[in-house]
Amino acid sequence: MMIKGTMLSLSFFFIILMIFPSLSWSQKADPTLLDFKVQAMYRAAKLTWKVKEGFKSGLVVQILRADTFEEGPYKEVDVVNLTSGKNSYEYVDKTMGAESKYYYKLILKETDESLGPIPTRPFFSPPATHYQPPVPGQPSHSILNLFSLTYRT
């Protein structure tokens, strides 16, 4: 009889998880970490987040990154110490290897509160440049000038 009751309880638990897959055990009712965003940059990713006002000072946020897969494995990129009176934080990760999709998580070490994963794909091509026509009276930069050949325009 006890096994049947245990099985029924476990079944109910898994049904609840299937109905509400967005439930996360690491989230608190009153979270400290808020508004986590990741912006793709040239060979980098910019992470921004906020913390609630009045948080306990001395907390540490761990920045984790997974290469290619959302499921991980995740490796620590860096840690950021939270400071009283500062509510907005920014971190630029320039440690990417290859062109790939990356996933980021933030974890508040003291409470295991987490945000993410958030995907990003940094740009690995140089930024486009804007053509500027030559200005009359200024030297022109051309292939001929590189080889010290002179010409008149």
Tell me if the pTM is above 0.85: no
Nearest alpha-carbon partner for 119 in 59, 72, 52? 72
- How much is the pLDDT for 56? 78
- pLDDT tens digits along 112-124: 999 999 999 998 8
- pLDDT tens digits along 7-46: 455 454 444 434 444 334 444 457 899 999 999 998 999 9
- How much is the pLDDT for 137? 75
Instruction: Give the start-to-end residue ranges of the domains of the chain.
Output: 20-126
Give the fold, CATH level 3, of 20-126.
Immunoglobulin-like (2.60.40)
Rounded-to-integer distance, Cα 91 and Cα 33, Å: 14
The enclosing H or E element of 77 equals: strand 74-81
